[in-house]
C-alpha cells in the first residue's frame, strides 16, 4: 500500500504547475517525512510513543488470551527491547505479497492482525500503524520470533530489511522480541524517561489484570544521569502484576485520600461483543476522579461509556435513596454533580471496532457501548448498595451533603453576581483592566501583593495587560467546597475577572483574557501562592489548562550591573553559565541586597556585584516590564497536563488533608531542592 503526500513546488505561474510537480512518497518514506502525523510529535512524547506502539502489540496478544508476560528493557546507546510470550508474529510467506508475514508487518503501514479476519477481535494501538512506524523512525531494528520450535530473525536499517527472514536456532519458547533504536535525526532527544515508562506501564498492568509486566533499566551510568526523571525511581527494575485489575487501580488512585466506604465496587461482564469492567469508590474529596478507557486507550474526553455510566449512577443512587426514605420530599432529587463529588471510578471497555473522535482518540463514539455500560453498571451497583448497607450509607451521605453544599454554592454565586451588578460592573475594584475588549489579545497578570501590583500596573502595556493583585495566601480549594470558594474575597475577585463563571455555570467562551499569567515572588511564599492558584485552576478550571490559557511568569533571579548596563539572570543555571563564560569564581562575587538602581561596586571594587531578588516589588516598573512582562523579551512557562491522574495525585499529596503522604513526599524530594529560602 502506498502512502501519499502531495507537495506543490513553487513556480513562476500556474501554467508551470503540472503532474511533474507532484511528489509521491512510497512505503515508509511518508512516515519519515511527516513523523508527527503518525506519533504525534518528535519531542519527548513522540519518543515514548515509539515504546507504546510496540508494547501495544503485546497487549493485543494479552487481550486475545495468548500472552501473560511482557518485558521492557532500556538498553545502552538508546536501545529499547520489548519481549512477550505471545504466539509470535507469523513468518510464513504471505499469499498475496509473496514475502514473509514478519517483513510485511515490519515494513508496511496498516499491515497486521488488527485489520482483517482471523487476527485480533479486540486491539488497542495509539494510531493503528504500530511497529512499521517504529521501524521507519529508527536507525536500527531487530525482530526475533520464537515460533514452531525455531528462532527467526530479521534486521532493518531505517525501515528497510538488511536480509531476508531466517531461522538461526532452536527454541522451546514462543513469543516476539522487538528491539529498536530511535533515529537521532528525527527526534529532538533520545533520552527516555524512566519515570514516564514506569507510570504508563503500571497503568497498563491495572487494565490488563493477570499480565506480568517487567521493566528493566540496563542503560549506562551516563545515560541514567541524563534522565533526571529517574530521581524518585532509583530502582533499576520494576515488576507489576495485578489480579484485582481496575479495582486495584482505584485503590492505588485513592491511596492518599480518605475513603467514605471500605469495599470497592467492581463489576465485569461481557455484553455481546462489548466487554465492560467498572470499579469505583467514594472519598472525602470534593472533586470527581474519572478514568475511562477503551481497548486500554485512555479517553480524556469521555464518550459513550462515560455517558452510560453517569446516567446509571445518578438513577441508581436516587432510586436507592428514595426507597430507603433518605430523600423524603416527593420532588427531591440528587443531581449528577451531587453523586459525582468525591467519586473515583475507572471504566474500561473492550470492543472489536472502536470508533474514536479525533486523532488522539480522546472520545469514544460507539453507540452500542452506552446501553452495555448503563445496564451492566445499574444492575450490579443496585445489588452492591443493597448487600453492603454500611458502604451504601457512606456513599449516600456523601451525595446528600454535596447536594446541600451545591445549594449553598448557588446562593453564594448568585450573591456574587448580584453584588457585581449593584456596583455597576461585574469587575472587582482592585482589578486594573486593560483597554482592549478583544480576549484573544488580552492578558491577565495575577500578582502577589500590593507592592508588586503597583509596579506591574505602572509598567504594563495598558492596552492589552490587566493586573489583579491578590492579598496574602488564597484559600486552599483542595480542602474547600464551591460555597466557601465563592465567599472568599480574593478568589471571588479572580473568578469575576475571568468572566467564565464556575462550576455548572462555567463557560469558556466568556473568558475575558487569552493568557492568565501567575506572577509571584521567587521565594517560598511565592511558590506556595502559585501552588494554591494552580490547585484552583486544576480542580475548578481544567478547561483553561487544557486550552493553553494558564502561564507562569518567570522573573529574574539575579542582576549584574556593569557600568550602565544591567544583565539579568533568570535561573541558577543562567548564573553558572555566566560564570563559566567569563571565568568568574565564587570568590570574585559580592552579593548585595540593595535595589538594582542603587547597585554600585561597593566593598571590594575587584569583585562582581550581584543582586539576588526575592520579590517582584524590588524592581521598578520599567525593570519589571523589561524582564517579566514585555512580550518581546519575557520568559513564561505554559501550564499543561501531561498525565491527569499523576497531576491529581500530586495535588492530593501536597494540598490534601492527609499529613503522612505529604511528609513522605517532602522527605523523599528534600535532597533535590536547591537554594531553599527559609
Please tell me the distance from the alpha carbon of residue 116 to that of residue 107, in angstroms, as a whole number. Answer: 18
Q: Which residue has 511482557 as its cell numbers?
A: 70
Average pLDDT, the chain: 84
Distances (CA, A) of 667 to 87, 100, 235, 478: 46, 55, 17, 22
Q: Does one domain contain both 538 and 603?
A: no
> Residue 459 pLDDT more than 70?
yes
Please tell me the distance from the alpha carbon of residue 11 to that of residue 22, in angstroms, as a whole number. Answer: 12
* Overall residue count recorded for the chain in this entry: 678
Task: Specify the pairing of strand 465-470 against strand 443-448.
Answer: parallel
∠ CA 84-89-94, rounded to 5°: 175
pLDDT per residue as tens digits for the range 226-279: 887 765 556 789 999 999 999 999 999 999 899 999 999 999 999 999 999 999
Per-state percent for the chain, helix, strand, coil, to nearest 5: 40, 20, 40
Nearest to 340 by CA among 402, 270, 266: 402
Q: Considering the chain, what percentage of its residues have pLDDT values greater than 90? A: 53
pLDDT band at 527 (very low <50, low <70, confident <90, very high): confident
In a domain, 674, yes or no: no
Instruction: Check residues 331 and 628 and name the one with the higher pLDDT.
Output: 628
Please tell me the distance from the alpha carbon of residue 599 to that of residue 565, in angstroms, as a whole number. Answer: 11
Q: Does one domain contain both 329 and 198?
A: no
Q: Please tell me the predicted confidence (pLDDT) of residue 489.
A: 87
Instruction: Check residues 112 and 573 and name the one with the higher pLDDT.
Output: 573
In a domain, 152, yes or no: yes
CB count in 10 Å sphere of residue 48: 18
pLDDT band at 671 (very low <50, low <70, confident <90, very high): low
Q: Does one domain contain both 205 and 269?
A: no
Q: Does one domain contain both 478 and 550?
A: yes
Q: What are phi and psi of 598, to 5 degrees?
A: -100, 5
pLDDT per residue as tens digits for the range 133-162: 999 999 999 999 999 999 999 999 999 999
Q: Choose one of 213, 240, 267: the last residue of a domain.
A: 240
Cβ burial 446-463 (10 Å sphere, 16+ → b, else e): bbbbeebbbbbbebbeee
Q: Please tell me the predicted confidence (pLDDT) of residue 16.
A: 56
Let me know: does 314 contact 299? Beta carbons within 8 Å: no
Q: Does one domain contain both 448 and 366?
A: no
Lowest mean pLDDT: which of 337-346, 394-403, 604-613?
A: 604-613
Q: Please tell me the predicted confidence (pLDDT) of residue 422.
A: 37
Residue 595 is placed in which grid cell?
A: 535595589
Residue 576 domain boundaries: 558-612
Q: Please tell me the predicted confidence (pLDDT) of residue 1.
A: 31
Average pLDDT, integer, range 29-48: 89
pLDDT band at 417 (very low <50, low <70, confident <90, very high): low
> Residue 313 pLDDT more than 60?
yes
Q: Report which DSSP code applies to 302.
A: -
For the purposes of burial, counting CB atoms within 10 Å of the CB of 418, is it exposed (0-12), middle (13-18) or buried (19 or more)?
Answer: exposed
Lowest mean pLDDT: which of 483-492, 550-559, 620-629?
A: 483-492
Please tell me the distance from the alpha carbon of residue 429 to that of residue 419, in angstroms, as a whole number. Answer: 12
Q: Please tell me the predicted confidence (pLDDT) of residue 594.
A: 56
Q: Does one domain contain both 608 and 506?
A: no
Distances (CA, A) of 538 to 280, 543, 545: 22, 9, 7
Nearest to 178 by CA among 133, 235, 212: 133
In a domain, 639, yes or no: no
Residue 447 is placed in which grid cell?
A: 500578582
* Residues paired with 516 in a beta bridge: 444, 550
Q: Please tell me the predicted confidence (pLDDT) of residue 586.
A: 76
For residue 305, give the CATH number of its domain.
3.30.230.10
In a domain, 276, yes or no: yes
Q: Choose one of 240, 262, 279: the last residue of a domain.
A: 240
pLDDT per residue as tens digits for the range 89-137: 999 998 888 899 999 999 988 766 543 444 566 666 533 457 999 999 9
> Which sign does the torsion angle of CA 522, 523, 525, 527 carry?
positive
Q: Please tell me the predicted confidence (pLDDT) of residue 9.
A: 35
Average pLDDT, integer, range 332-344: 93
In a domain, 8, yes or no: no
Q: Does one domain contain both 327 and 250?
A: yes
pLDDT band at 12 (very low <50, low <70, confident <90, very high): very low
Please tell me the distance from the alpha carbon of residue 345 to that of residue 292, in angstroms, as a whole number. Answer: 8
Q: Does one domain contain both 181 and 133?
A: yes
Q: Does one domain contain both 250 and 399?
A: yes
Q: Please tell me the predicted confidence (pLDDT) of residue 87.
A: 94
Lowest mean pLDDT: which of 193-197, 367-371, 397-401, 502-506?
A: 502-506
Q: Which residue has 504500530 as its cell numbers?
A: 130
Please tell me the distance from the alpha carbon of residue 79 to that of residue 65, in angstroms, as a whole number. Answer: 29
Q: Does one domain contain both 161 and 276?
A: no
In a domain, 535, yes or no: yes
Q: What are phi and psi of 359, to 5 degrees?
A: -65, -30
CB under 8 A, 24+ apart: contacts of 411-414: 411/483, 412/482, 412/483, 412/486, 412/487, 413/482, 413/486, 413/501, 413/502, 413/503, 413/505
Residue 336 is placed in which grid cell?
A: 449528577
Distances (CA, A) of 17 to 12, 24, 123: 9, 16, 44
For residue 542, give the CATH number of its domain.
3.40.50.670
For residue 235, give the CATH number of its domain.
3.30.565.10
pLDDT band at 27 (very low <50, low <70, confident <90, very high): low
Residue 337 is placed in which grid cell?
A: 454533580
Alpha helices in 254-293 (DSSP H): none
Q: Please tell me the predicted confidence (pLDDT) of residue 596.
A: 47
Catalytic sites, residue numbers:
448, 521, 523, 525
Please tell me the distance from the alpha carbon of residue 465 to that of residue 141, in angstroms, as a whole number. Answer: 52
> Residue 514 pLDDT more than 80?
yes
Alpha helices in 324-423 (DSSP H): 336-340, 369-387, 389-422
In a domain, 632, yes or no: no
pLDDT band at 14 (very low <50, low <70, confident <90, very high): very low
Q: Does one domain contain both 532 and 575?
A: no
In a domain, 22, yes or no: no
Distances (CA, A) of 574 to 570, 594, 599, 624: 6, 21, 20, 18
Q: Does one domain contain both 87 and 221?
A: yes
Please tell me the distance from the alpha carbon of residue 3 to that of residue 26, in angstroms, as a whole number. Answer: 6
Residue 93 is placed in which grid cell?
A: 510467506
How many structural domains are present in the chain? 4
Amino acid at each position: 500500500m502506498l502512502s501519499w503526500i502531495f507537495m506543490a513546488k513553487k513556480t513562476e505561474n500556474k501554467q508551470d504547475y503540472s503532474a511533474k510537480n507532484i511528489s509521491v512518497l512510497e512505503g515508509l518514506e511518508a512516515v519519515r517525512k511527516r513523523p508527527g502525523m503518525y506519533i504525534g510529535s518528535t519531542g519527548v512524547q513522540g519518543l515514548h510513543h515509539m515504546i507504546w506502539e510496540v508494547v501495544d502489540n503485546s497487549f493485543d496478544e494479552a487481550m486475545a488470551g495468548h500472552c501473560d508476560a511482557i518485558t521492557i528493557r532500556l538498553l545502552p546507546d538508546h536501545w529499547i527491547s520489548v519481549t512477550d510470550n505471545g504466539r509470535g508474529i507469523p513468518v510464513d510467506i504471505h499469499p498475496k505479497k509473496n514475502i514473509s508475514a514478519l517483513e510485511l508487518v515490519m515494513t508496511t503501514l496498516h499491515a497486521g492482525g488488527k485489520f482483517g479476519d482471523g487476527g485480533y477481535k479486540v486491539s488497542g494501538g495509539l494510531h493503528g500503524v504500530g511497529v512499521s512506524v517504529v521501524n521507519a523512525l529508527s536507525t536500527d531494528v531487530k525482530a526475533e520470533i520464537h515460533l514452531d520450535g525455531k528462532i527467526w530473525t530479521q534486521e532493518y536499517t531505517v525501515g528497510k530489511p538488511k536480509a531476508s527472514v531466517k531461522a538461526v536456532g532452536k527454541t522451546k519458547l514462543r513469543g516476539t522480541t522487538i528491539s529498536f533504536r530511535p533515529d537521532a535525526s528525527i527526534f529532538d532527544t533520545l533520552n527516555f524517561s524512566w519515570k514516564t515508562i514506569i507510570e504508563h506501564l503500571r497503568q497498563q498492568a491495572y487494565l490488563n489484570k493477570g499480565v506480568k509486566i517487567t521493566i528493566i533499566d540496563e542503560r549506562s551510568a551516563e545515560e541514567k544521569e541524563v534522565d533526571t526523571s529517574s530521581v524518585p525511581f532509583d530502582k533499576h527494575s520494576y515488576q507489576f502484576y495485578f489480579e484485582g485489575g481496575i479495582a486495584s487501580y482505584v485503590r492505588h488512585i485513592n491511596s492518599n485520600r480518605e475513603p467514605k466506604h471500605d469495599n470497592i465496587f467492581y463489576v465485569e461482564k461481557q455484553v455481546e461483543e462489548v466487554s465492560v469492567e467498572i470499579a469505583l469508590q467514594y472519598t472525602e474529596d470534593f472533586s470527581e476522579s474519572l478514568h475511562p478507557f477503551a481497548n486500554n486507550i485512555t479517553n480524556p474526553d469521555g464518550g459513550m461509556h462515560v455517558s452510560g455510566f453517569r446516567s446509571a449512577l445518578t438513577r441508581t443512587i436516587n432510586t436507592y435513596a428514595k426507597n430507603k426514605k433518605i430523600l423524603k420530599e416527593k420532588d427531591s432529587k440528587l443531581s449528577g454533580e451531587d453523586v459525582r463529588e468525591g467519586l473515583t471510578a475507572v471504566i474500561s471497555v473492550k470492543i472489536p471496532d472502536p470508533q474514536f473522535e479525533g486523532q488522539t482518540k480522546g472520545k469514544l463514539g460507539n453507540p452500542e457501548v452506552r446501553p452495555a455500560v448503563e445496564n451492566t453498571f445499574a444492575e450490579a451497583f443496585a445489588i452492591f448498595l443493597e448487600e453492603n448497607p454500611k458502604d451504601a450509607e457512606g456513599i449516600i451521605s456523601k451525595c446528600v451533603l454535596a447536594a446541600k453544599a451545591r445549594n449553598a454554592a448557588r446562593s453564594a454565586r448568585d450573591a456574587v453576581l448580584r453584588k457585581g451588578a449593584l456596583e455597576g460592573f461585574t469587575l472587582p475594584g482592585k482589578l486594573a483592566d486593560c483597554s482592549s475588549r478583544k480576549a484573544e489579545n488580552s492578558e491577565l497578570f495575577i500578582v502577589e501583593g500590593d507592592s508588586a501590583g503597583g509596579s506591574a500596573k505602572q509598567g504594563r502595556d495598558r492596552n492589552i495587560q490587566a493586573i489583579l493583585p491578590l492579598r496574602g495566601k488564597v484559600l486552599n480549594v483542595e480542602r474547600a467546597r464551591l460555597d466557601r470558594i465563592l465567599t472568599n474575597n480574593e478568589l471571588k475577585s479572580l473568578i469575576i475577572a475571568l468572566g467564565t463563571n464556575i462550576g455548572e455555570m462555567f463557560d469558556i467562551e466568556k473568558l475575558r483574557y487569552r493568557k492568565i499569567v501567575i506572577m509571584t515572588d521567587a521565594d517560598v511564599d511565592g511558590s506556595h501562592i502559585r501552588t494554591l492558584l494552580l490547585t484552583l485552576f486544576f480542580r475548578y478550571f481544567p478547561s483553561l489548562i487544557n486550552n493553553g490559557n494558564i502561564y507562569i511568569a518567570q522573573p529574574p533571579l539575579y542582576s549584574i550591573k556593569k557600568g550602565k548596563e544591567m544583565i539579568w539572570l533568570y535561573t541558577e543555571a543562567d548564573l553558572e553559565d555566566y560564570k563559566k563564560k567569563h571565568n568568574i569564581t565564587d570568590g570574585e562575587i559580592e552579593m548585595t541586597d540593595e535595589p538594582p538602581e542603587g547597585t554600585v561596586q561597593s566593598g571590594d571594587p575587584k569583585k562582581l556585584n550581584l543582586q539576588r531578588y526575592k520579590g517582584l516589588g524590588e524592581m521598578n516598573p520599567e525593570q519589571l516590564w523589561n524582564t517579566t512582562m514585555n512580550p518581546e523579551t519575557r520568559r513564561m512557562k505554559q501550564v499543561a497536563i501531561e498525565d491527569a491522574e499523576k497531576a491529581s495525585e500530586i495535588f492530593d499529596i501536597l494540598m490534601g488533608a492527609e499529613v503522612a503522604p505529604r511528609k513522605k513526599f517532602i522527605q523523599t524530594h528534600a535532597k533535590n531542592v536547591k537554594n531553599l529560602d527559609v
